[in-house]
Amino acid sequence: MVRVIRFHEIGGPEVLRYEEIAVRALGPGEVRIRVDAIGLNRAEVNFRRGTYLEQPVLPAGLGTEASGEVLEVGPDVERWRPGDVVSVVPAFSQNDYPVYAEEAVVPAAALVARPEGMDPITGAAIWMPYVTVYGMVQEIVRVRPGDQVVVTAAVNSVGMAALQVLRHLGAVPIATAPSADQREALLAAGAAAVITDEDDLVDAIRTSTRGHGADLVLDAVGGPQVEALVRACAAGATVIVHGGLSGQPSPLPDGPYAPVWLRRYHVYEITTDAAALRRAEHFIRAGLATGAFTPIVDRVFDFDDIAAAHTYVDSPERGLGKPVVRVRHADA
């Protein structure tokens, strides 16, 4: 029996429960891992309250991002062996393979080897943000040196990874953030300019790009803001909406604006494509090896404090980077 976190009704953090269940037998292509750390994402918050892309099948588990050690491999698993230290990348439904647990069954295809010397906390914080960004700036479009790229909600883990990746590629990252209090931290993290909710978004982007407009927008917010982002683009630009923090529909603007390619994106486009995930893994490992990429962990919560962790993930007081949950084991 292992402890897991589940919920039997949609709602706030108070619906989360600790339960002891038996780990099921492995099927073909599956592995059992000891979970040492869990990467927290707003997707889990939305899943818990019934506002995510898919509805939870109750009682439901949570989570798609973790790090740990392989304990057992199922039939047809060739790459992994017990004792391998790994990270789990989001590549599956939370209904099928939840990782908020002391041990979890996950698809072998969703594992990547944890870089040598990397601790479990960092191993749970790295892959989703950098793979998400890689897909947008190398697979959907090819960012060029000098491209002026707007990164919305830049204080979250994907935004922080985007600033580093864009700098590495020679692009000019322009960050947006709710508050001017975050300006200095974002500039220190690599943003060339920071736009806050106090600014007129279109005017600020035009000013930051010296009238050129954005060549690319990586938008985690969606909603009505998309109209302004499109208006602030240069001709031939791309606006990629990869999140829905606003919780509102994303309309196209009326009237004249530059021809822009607008599309939605989900990290599953990369993580469920073996060849694309392999390319992403090589890209990220190279950035780590040179020091161009430095994973940023925001706060670390204990497994027993999951309600507080979920409250924090959904809070405007969040810091820069990725919140992580540490799972302590009695035999560790």
Confidence of residue 89 (pLDDT cuts 50, 70, 90): very high
CA distances from 84 to 31, 248, 254 (A): 11, 42, 54
Q: With contact defined as beta carbons under 8 Å apart, do 291 and 316 qualify?
A: no
Domain boundary among 251, 268, 285: 268
For residues 175 and 209, membership in a common domain is answered with yes
Which one, of 319, 283, 311, 328, lies nearest residue 44 by Cα? 311
For residues 35 and 111, membership in a common domain is answered with yes
- What value does the CA radius of gyration of the chain take, rounded to a whole number of Å? 20
Confidence of residue 52 (pLDDT cuts 50, 70, 90): confident
Q: What is the pLDDT of residue 246?
A: 74
**Domain annotation covers residue 287:** no
Chain-centroid distance, C-alpha 301:
18
Q: 310 is written with which tokens?
A: 């979920």
Domain boundary among 250, 268, 286: 268
Q: What is the pLDDT of residue 259?
A: 83
Q: Which pLDDT tens digit goes with each residue over 260-297? A: 899 999 999 999 999 999 999 999 999 999 999 999 99
What percent helix, strand, coil does the chain show, rounded to 5? 30, 25, 45
For residues 59 and 114, membership in a common domain is answered with yes
For residues 85 and 53, membership in a common domain is answered with yes
State the Cα–Cα distance between residues 14 and 294, nearest whole angstrom.
34
* pLDDT exceeds cutoff 70 at 207: yes
* pLDDT exceeds cutoff 90 at 154: yes
Q: What is the pLDDT of residue 124?
A: 98
**Domain annotation covers residue 39:** yes
Q: What is the pLDDT of residue 249?
A: 72
Q: What is the pLDDT of residue 253?
A: 64
CATH number of the domain that 102 lies in? Answer: 3.90.180.10
Return the H-helix or E-strand segment holding 49: none
For residues 173 and 44, membership in a common domain is answered with no
Q: Which pLDDT tens digit goes with each residue over 218-260? A: 999 988 899 999 999 999 999 999 988 777 777 766 666 668 8
Q: With contact defined as beta carbons under 8 Å apart, do 74 and 57 qualify?
A: no
Chain-centroid distance, C-alpha 217:
17
**Domain annotation covers residue 280:** no
Q: Which residue has the higher pLDDT, 331 or 48?
A: 48
The structural domain count of the chain equals: 2
Q: With contact defined as beta carbons under 8 Å apart, do 86 and 80 qualify?
A: yes
Domain boundary among 268, 287, 305: 268
* pLDDT exceeds cutoff 70 at 332: no
Containing structural domain, residue 203: 129-268
Residues composing the chain: 332
Q: What is the pLDDT of residue 247?
A: 73
For residues 151 and 239, membership in a common domain is answered with yes
**Domain annotation covers residue 279:** no
Q: Which pLDDT tens digit goes with each residue over 5-30? A: 999 999 999 999 999 999 999 999 99
pLDDT mean across residues, the chain: 94
**Domain annotation covers residue 145:** yes
CATH number of the domain that 210 lies in? Answer: 3.40.50.720
